[in-house]
């Protein structure tokens, strides 16, 4: 429930308590609220009705929730019933007992005995008064007799004597027939005699019956109603009045006096007066109470009923509050459990109490937090594992060596990108297949299987137990159509891979065709050097012998023979010279002197070389495009000159091969500075590109263009590009040849990575 | 002298009938002359004879209608008469509160004084504007304020202790 409602209930409860207290205290017969009793009653009733409405609304809401099966309403219902029962039942019992008590006890206050006693008391008082009155009457009769006998004029003295004799006598007076005062005597001085004059009714009675005697006064003193307008009248003392006619004997002179009356007023005996007053007020009080008893009972019952209603409604209202208070943490927990079951581990709002319920919610939150922590830890670990796996995979994928994982039956499980690159097979097509059944890999697979079985045989024989892997060089034929004729040479290593549920194999292989090729060039160089040495030695004697023959036989032979001789000799000399040159070439290739590196302006070198080509047949064919401000490179001018000569010559040869070329022959010589990223920042390299628009390289040449004795030309040793490659390698550069994509010629790209250190620039300028 | 007198229609049987009521303009002020007709039922008579005092109150109100505001209350006055019986002296006392009381031997004599009270000066001259018409409403009842509280409560639902006239209204043109 809302906080505001809670405060409202607290304040309302306080107000109700005050109202009830006032109502209860107003039930006794005093106090300010006496006057506003009906208001108080109405207010209490209104509060009761308001509470009834509140309770009804609450009950209805609860019922609706219960009907709709809202979560927690069942618990609320039980708690409310419990608390309401606890509150209502004792109240009901007390109410019933009280009502019984009130009804019977009030009735029991009034009984016939008391009433009779009071009646008797009143009668007794009346009898006392009557006795006193009789006494006073006899006194009056005696006085009247005396007054009648005594001569006229002695009345004041007689009255005074009479008053003096009776101490209680207030006054004695003689009045005429109209009530006019004739003579009077007073017991105490002061007082207004005129108010004590007899009324006409008294006189009439005295006239007709000779005597009027009655008790009077003692009236209004018994108004005990608080809050009623006060009655300012002084209570008149209880007194006795006797009015008696004075007998009127005939006067000696024959005249009759006008009728005269003696009035005596005497205070009732003090004891009698006070007792009478007491009994009188008790008598009327008893009557009032007797009449009021029904009202009183009603009052009590109404008060009790209101109290009960307020208590009941208060109990039910409080039951709602308490039940809500108790149920709230439980509902919170239940909701929390449900949320946890659904996977929501966010913290629940905590019930801020120090009791067990508060502790419970706190521990619940601790539990969910720990769960959440554990879950996030698992998540983290998983992510870390995934990262590690991804890292491993990327390492594998970017490895130049091919890695394959095979299962126990040599089926391919996984392989990395390099496998596809080296074997020229899409990995997807191979996965799950035994290697021997993959198209084009039968030999490779057979070799691997053989190697593994050999290793396991060795292991079984007990030898080389410590060697867990084998290494073998396997050659497999290129896939048809790949354009390369050499076999693919793979250096393959295999090892057993203990995997779950059986054994597996790990195969790592590397394409070492290039290495083989390099070894081949070295071997060729050695062979060439020896051959050149062996061949060159006999060449000079051959040439000298031929020239000597010509010289000796000149003039000894006829014209015809002479011509034959000359022709033969010339042929020998020419062929020997050609052979010599070829041998020199071999020697040069094999024995290239080490490059003498120094700062060199590449552009200047190229211009110098191109100068030689201008004016010849190739004038207008070569188009240099030299980048200005090219950094100096470290290079051997002689060797680089040879490189450029070779390349230009190759290009020119390519042009001439293609006589019927559609386009005009053209050779581009381009230099430029290249910036590239390296381990220690951006570095600069110089690139020299020589392109032609000739026919380009044949595919089978292209792969092995830098190997010696590979040539497309009819004449030529096939050493040109091999030389170039060798020189560039010594300069620490890279050389690359490529055909243009549109088959319009080829380019040779040379990248010189070693640049002159700026310090050296001024000291050595290129030749 | 007679300003206004209205014929009285019959009212509730156990209530108070206002038989006659009119306002006189005299030298000392405006006086109310009225005759009330009622009987004490058995319960009340019994209570009186047991010495329980009864108080009768006459309430009178002069209002002048005003079109622009609430009606003007020119005079509001009430007079309470008490009736009591002394069981010792067996005398009935009737008195206007604040004035002398009279003794009677019989209840009827005592009630006669209450039914036909002396003229009551309601307000001095000058309390009303001469020539203006006033609505006079008059009511006479057994005053419950003077009753003991339990009897008040009882009177809520017990007609024996309820004695009141309807509100009698008439117009008086001030002189």
pLDDT number for residue A376: 92
Q: Give the pLDDT confidence of A382-415 residue by residue, as tens digits.
A: 999 999 999 988 888 888 888 888 888 888 888 8
pLDDT number for residue A762: 46
**Is the Cβ–Cβ distance between A243 and A261 less than 8 Å?**
yes
pLDDT number for residue A12: 78
State the best of B84, B86, B104, B149 to mutate against chain A, taking most chain A CBs within 10 Å. B149
**Mean pLDDT value of segment B10-33:** 78
SS3 B69: coil
**Mean pLDDT value of segment A359-384:** 89
> Are B89 and A220 an interchain contact pair (Cβ–Cβ within 8 Å)?
no
A450 and A333, same structural domain?
no
Angle CA A498–A499–A500, to nearest 5:
135
pLDDT number for residue A377: 94
Residues of A in contact with B152 (CB under 8 A): 37-38, 295
Residues of A in contact with B59 (CB under 8 A): none
**Mean pLDDT value of segment A14-23:** 79
A184 and A69, same structural domain?
no
Residue A296 has pLDDT above 70, yes or no: yes
> Are B93 and A222 an interchain contact pair (Cβ–Cβ within 8 Å)?
no
Is A219 part of the contact surface with chain B (CB cutoff 8 Å)? yes
pLDDT number for residue A381: 95
Q: Give the pLDDT confidence of A78-127 residue by residue, as tens digits.
A: 888 888 888 788 888 988 998 888 888 877 777 788 888 888 998 988 89
ipTM: 0.76
> Are A232 and B153 an interchain contact pair (Cβ–Cβ within 8 Å)?
no
Contacts with B, A 9-28, CB within 8 Å: 26
More confident of the two residues B157 and A660: B157
For A303, which residue in chain B has the nearest alpha carbon? B153
Query: What are the boundaries of each domain within chain B?
Result: 17-173
Residue A60 has pLDDT above 50, yes or no: yes
Residue A708 has pLDDT above 80, yes or no: no
Give the residue numbers spanning the domain of A37. 3-109+289-338
- Count of residues in chain A: 767
> Are B101 and A233 an interchain contact pair (Cβ–Cβ within 8 Å)?
yes
Q: Are β-strands A622-626 and A667-678 bridged in parallel, bridged antiparallel, or unpaired?
A: parallel
Residue B13 has pLDDT above 50, yes or no: no
For B88, which residue in chain A has the nearest alpha carbon? A126
**Mean pLDDT value of segment A211-238:** 57
Is B53 part of the contact surface with chain A (CB cutoff 8 Å)? yes
> Are A37 and B152 an interchain contact pair (Cβ–Cβ within 8 Å)?
yes
**Mean pLDDT value of segment A622-646:** 85
Is B152 part of the contact surface with chain A (CB cutoff 8 Å)? yes
Residues of B in contact with A283 (CB under 8 A): 50-51, 87
For B83, which residue in chain A has the nearest alpha carbon? A220
A525 and A499, same structural domain?
no
pLDDT number for residue A383: 95
Contacts with B, A 677-736, CB within 8 Å: none
Q: Give the pLDDT confidence of A159-188 residue by residue, as tens digits.
A: 888 888 887 788 888 888 787 888 888 877
For B160, which residue in chain A has the nearest alpha carbon? A291
A495 and A443, same structural domain?
yes
**Mean pLDDT value of segment A482-498:** 76
Q: Please check whether residue A475 lies inside any domain of the structure.
A: yes
> Are B50 and A215 an interchain contact pair (Cβ–Cβ within 8 Å)?
no
A653 and A740, same structural domain?
yes
A753 and A658, same structural domain?
yes
> Are A225 and B97 an interchain contact pair (Cβ–Cβ within 8 Å)?
no
pLDDT number for residue B8: 39
DSSP H helices, A110-240, are: 112-149, 155-165, 200-209
DSSP 8-state secondary structure symbol assigned to residue B129 = -
Residues of A in contact with B87 (CB under 8 A): 122, 126, 280, 283-284
pLDDT number for residue A379: 93
Residues of B in contact with A34 (CB under 8 A): 149
| Band of residue A624 on the pLDDT scale cut at 50, 70, 90 | confident
Residue A425 has pLDDT above 60, yes or no: yes
Q: Give the pLDDT confidence of A121-147 residue by residue, as tens digits.
A: 989 888 988 898 898 899 888 888 888
Last residue in a domain, options A487, A511, A535: A511
A525 and A506, same structural domain?
no
Using the structure block, give the residue that is written with the tokens 């108070």: B16
Last residue in a domain, options A590, A622, A637: A590
Among A13-27, A322-336, A534-548, B155-169, top mean pLDDT goes to A534-548
Q: Give the pLDDT confidence of A73-85 residue by residue, as tens digits.
A: 787 788 888 888 8
**Mean pLDDT value of segment A554-572:** 85
A552 and A438, same structural domain?
no
A686 and A615, same structural domain?
yes
A498 φ, ψ to 5°? -70, 110
pLDDT number for residue A384: 95
Of B52, B154, B161, the CB nearest to A287: B52
Q: CB neighbours of B115 closer than 8 A, spacing ≥ 6?
A: B35, B36, B37, B38
**Mean pLDDT value of segment A298-312:** 81
* Beta sheet of B133-142, edge-to-edge order: B101-104, B91-96, B72-86, B54-64, B133-142, B168-173
Q: Please check whether residue A18 lies inside any domain of the structure.
A: yes
Residue A754 has pLDDT above 50, yes or no: yes
> Are A284 and B50 an interchain contact pair (Cβ–Cβ within 8 Å)?
yes
| Band of residue A235 on the pLDDT scale cut at 50, 70, 90 | low
Residue B14 has pLDDT above 60, yes or no: yes
Of A34, A232, A283, the CB nearest to B87: A283
pLDDT number for residue A467: 63
| Band of residue A716 on the pLDDT scale cut at 50, 70, 90 | low
Nearest Cα to A524, choosing from A725, A239, A338, A348? A725
A312 and A249, same structural domain?
no
Is A276 part of the contact surface with chain B (CB cutoff 8 Å)? yes
For B101, which residue in chain A has the nearest alpha carbon? A233
- How many structural domains comprise chain A? 5
Max CA pair span of chain A: 254
More confident of the two residues A494 and A9: A494
Of B80, B91, B152, the CB nearest to A229: B80
A204 and A312, same structural domain?
no
Q: Where are the beta strands (DSSP E) in A236-311?
A: 239-246, 260-267
pLDDT number for residue A176: 82
CA–CA gap between residue A180 and residue A198 (Å, rounded) = 9
**Mean pLDDT value of segment A483-504:** 75
Q: What is the CATH number of the domain that holds A410?
A: 3.30.450.20
A624 and A753, same structural domain?
yes
Last residue in a domain, options A318, A338, A358: A338
Of A225, A280, A291, the CB nearest to B87: A280
pLDDT number for residue A385: 95
Residue A366 has pLDDT above 80, yes or no: yes
| Band of residue A760 on the pLDDT scale cut at 50, 70, 90 | very low
**Mean pLDDT value of segment A547-564:** 85
Residue A249 has pLDDT above 70, yes or no: no
């Amino acid at each position: 429930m809302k906080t505001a409602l809670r405060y409202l209930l607290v304040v309302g409860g306080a107000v109700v308590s005050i109202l009830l207290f006032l109502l209860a205290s107003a039930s006794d017969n005093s106090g300010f609220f006496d006057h506003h009793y009906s208001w108080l009653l109405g207010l209490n009733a209104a509060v009761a009705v308001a509470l009834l409405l509140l309770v009804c609304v609450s009950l209805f809401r609860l019922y609706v929730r219960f009907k709709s099966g809202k979560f927690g309403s069942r618990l609320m219902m039980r708690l409310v019933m419990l608390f309401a029962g606890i509150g209502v039942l004792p109240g009901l019992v007390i109410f019933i007992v009280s009502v019984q008590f009130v009804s019977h006890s009030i009735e029991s206050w009034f009984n016939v005995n008391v009433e009779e006693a009071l009646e008797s008391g009143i009668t007794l008082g009346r009898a006392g008064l009557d006795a006193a009155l009789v006494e006073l009457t006899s006194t009056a009769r005696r006085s009247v007799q005396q007054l009648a006998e005594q001569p006229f004029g002695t009345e004041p003295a007689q009255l005074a004597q009479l008053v003096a004799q009776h101490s209680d006598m207030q006054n004695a007076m003689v009045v005429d027939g109209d009530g006019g005062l004739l003579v009077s005597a007073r017991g105490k001085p002061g007082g207004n005699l005129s108010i004590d004059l007899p009324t006409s009714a008294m006189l009439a009675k005295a006239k007709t019956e000779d005597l009027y005697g009655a008790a009077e006064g003692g009236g209004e003193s018994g108004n005990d109603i608080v809050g009623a307008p006060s009655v300012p009248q002084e209570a008149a003392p209880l007194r006795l009045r006797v009015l008696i006619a004075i007998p009127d004997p005939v006067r000696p002179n024959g005249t009759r006096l006008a009728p005269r009356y003696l009035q005596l007023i005497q205070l009732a005996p003090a004891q009698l007066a006070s007792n009478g007053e007491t009994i009188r007020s008790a008598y009327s009080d008893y009557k009032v109470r007797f009449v009021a008893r029904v009202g009183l009972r009603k009052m009590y019952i109404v008060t009790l009923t209101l109290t009960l209603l307020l208590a009941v409604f208060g109990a039910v209202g409080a039951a709602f509050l308490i039940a809500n208070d108790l149920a709230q943490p439980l509902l919170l927990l239940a909701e929390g459990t449900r949320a946890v079951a659904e996977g929501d581990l966010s913290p629940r709002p905590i019930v801020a109490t120090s009791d067990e319920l508060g502790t419970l919610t706190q521990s619940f939150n601790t539990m969910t937090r720990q769960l959440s922590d554990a879950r996030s830890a698992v998540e983290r670990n998983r992510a870390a594992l995934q990262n590690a796996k991804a890292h491993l995979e990327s390492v594998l994928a970017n490895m130049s060596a091919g890695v394959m994982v095979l299962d126990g039956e040599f089926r391919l499980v996984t392989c990395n990108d390099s496998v596809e690159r080296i074997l020229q097979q899409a990995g997807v097509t191979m996965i799950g297949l035994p290697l021997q059944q993959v198209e084009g890999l039968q030999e490779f697979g057979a070799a691997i299987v053989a190697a593994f079985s050999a290793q396991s045989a060795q292991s079984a024989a007990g030898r080389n137990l410590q060697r867990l892997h084998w290494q073998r060089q396997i050659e497999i034929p290129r896939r048809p159509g790949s354009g390369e004729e050499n076999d693919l040479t793979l250096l393959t290593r295999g090892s057993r891979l203990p995997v779950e549920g059986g054994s597996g194999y790990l195969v790592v292989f590397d394409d070492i065709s290039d290495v083989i090729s390099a070894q081949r060039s070295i071997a060729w160089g050695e062979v060439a050097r020896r051959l050149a040495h062996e061949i060159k030695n006999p060449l000079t004697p051959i040439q000298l012998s031929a020239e000597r023959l010509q010289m000796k036989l000149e003039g000894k032979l006829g014209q015809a023979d002479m011509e034959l001789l000359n022709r033969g000799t010339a042929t020998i000399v020419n062929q020997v010279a050609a052979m010599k040159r070829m041998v020199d070439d071999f020697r040069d290739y094999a024995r290239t002197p080490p490059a003498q590196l120094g700062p060199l302006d590449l552009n200047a070198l190229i211009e110098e070389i191109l100068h030689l080509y201008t004016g010849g047949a190739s004038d207008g064919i070569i188009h240099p495009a030299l980048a200005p401000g090219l950094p100096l490179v470290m290079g051997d001018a002689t060797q680089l000159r040879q490189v450029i000569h070779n390349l230009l010559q190759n290009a020119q040869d390519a042009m001439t091969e293609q006589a019927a070329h559609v386009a005009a022959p053209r050779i581009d010589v381009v230099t430029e500075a290249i910036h590239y990223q390296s381990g220690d920042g951006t570095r600069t390299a110089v690139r020299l590109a020589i392109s032609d628009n000739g026919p380009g390289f044949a595919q089978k040449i292209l792969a092995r263009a830098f190997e010696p004795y590979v040539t497309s030309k009819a004449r030529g040793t096939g050493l040109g590009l091999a030389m170039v490659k060798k020189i560039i390698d010594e300069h620490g550069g890279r050389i690359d040849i490529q055909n243009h994509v549109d088959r319009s010629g080829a380019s040779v790209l040379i990248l010189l990575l070693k640049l002159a250190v700026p310090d050296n620039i001024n000291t050595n300028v290129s030749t | 002298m007679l300003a206004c007198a209205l014929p009285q229609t019959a009212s509730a049987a156990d209530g108070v009938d206002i038989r006659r009521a009119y306002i006189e303009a005299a030298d000392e002020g405006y006086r109310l002359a009225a005759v009330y007709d009622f009987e004490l039922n058995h319960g009340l008579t019994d209570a009186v004879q047991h010495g329980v005092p009864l108080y009768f109150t006459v309430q009178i109100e002069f209002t002048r209608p005003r079109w622009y505001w609430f009606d003007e209350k020119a005079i509001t006055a009430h007079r309470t008469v008490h009736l009591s019986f002394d069981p010792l002296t067996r005398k009935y006392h009737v008195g206007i509160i604040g004035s002398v009381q009279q003794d009677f031997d019989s209840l009827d004599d005592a009630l006669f004084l209450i039914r036909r009270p002396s003229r009551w000066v309601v307000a001095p001259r000058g309390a009303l504007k001469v020539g203006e018409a006033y609505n006079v409403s008059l009511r006479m009842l057994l005053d419950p304020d003077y009753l003991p509280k339990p009897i008040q409560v009882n009177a809520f639902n017990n007609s024996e202790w309820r004695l009141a006239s309807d509100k009698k209204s008439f117009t008086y043109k001030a002189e």
